[in-house]
Amino acid sequence: MTSNQTESRGRVLVIAGSDSGGGAGIQADIKAIMAMGGYAMTAITAITVQDTTGVHAVHAVPVETVIAQMRVCLRDIGADAVKTGMLGRADLVEEAAETLDALAPAVPRIIDPVMVASSGDRLIDRRAVESISSLLIPNAALVTPNAPEAEILTGKSVDGVNGQRRAAEALLERGAKGALVKGGHVPGSPITDVLQTEHGEWLFENRRIDTSSTHGTGCTLASAIAARIAQADAMQEAVEAGRDYLFRAIETAKGFGQGHGPVHHGWKLDMADER
């Protein structure tokens, strides 16, 4: 380990796809990480033609190009956390996992198993799901599935808090050190997210906001948590801070677009301007 990797300084390498609409993917990741005091690096896996109404096209970046991005960032700058988003292909998952094992074996990994966009568009194939389950979930510091993703990954029905608990337990049994099974897709209010780690279980609640501006919430939350973990927060503290940031970002969303609009990643800047 080089000298620039010996202390937590907020460096987060994000391996994910790009969203041309700016609400999700790499764009959301960078905004959230910066808002939480971290430093974002990127390995872009795909270029999407995307807006608030849906994903209109996906253009995959060659696997060797994704891996090259990872290698130069890890060898030169180093990382205090790695966050994965849309990977899409089994061969990319396999190569990315191998690269992380070789160059960043001790760096905490926050795995956001992006499978379906807010619009309902499928973003990943079945073989990639299997590769994520076998290669990325084991030893992940945190896995952050929503209810549909948790059902796909675990085979457990996730229709309430007890289902979220069962899914989290299954993810820990597969080797993850932490699992945050989110409740945003579970009907009703309040929304409950279930966090389980080897040290215990925590339930986080917040009221459901009546809004269509929910594009990129999963990317935003996982990256906000990753930024705090990269600054040496304990898992419970990082999740709480990330959730608080996301709730305010949804609450202050500006209503852009004709579909599922983006959250307001820059609400902290608004507060600074007011001061």
Active site residues: 182, 214, 216-219
Task: Order across the sheet with 109-111: list the strands.
Answer: 54-60, 39-51, 11-19, 81-84, 109-111, 142-143, 178-181, 191-197, 200-206
Distance CA 115, CA 56 (A): 16
In this structure, what is the dihedral angle of CA atoms 190, 118, 241, 5, given to the nearest 10 degrees? Answer: 150
- Name which of 229, 197, 14, 227 is nearest 100 in CA terms: 14
- Name which of 78, 4, 73, 29 is nearest 219 in CA terms: 29
Peptide bond into 190 cis (omega under 30): yes
Q: Mind giving me the DSSP string for 69-106?
A: HHHHHHHHT--SEEEE-----HHHHHHHHHHHHHH-TT
Amino acid at 118: S
Amino acid at 236: Q
Q: CB 59: neighbour CB atoms within 10 A?
A: 10
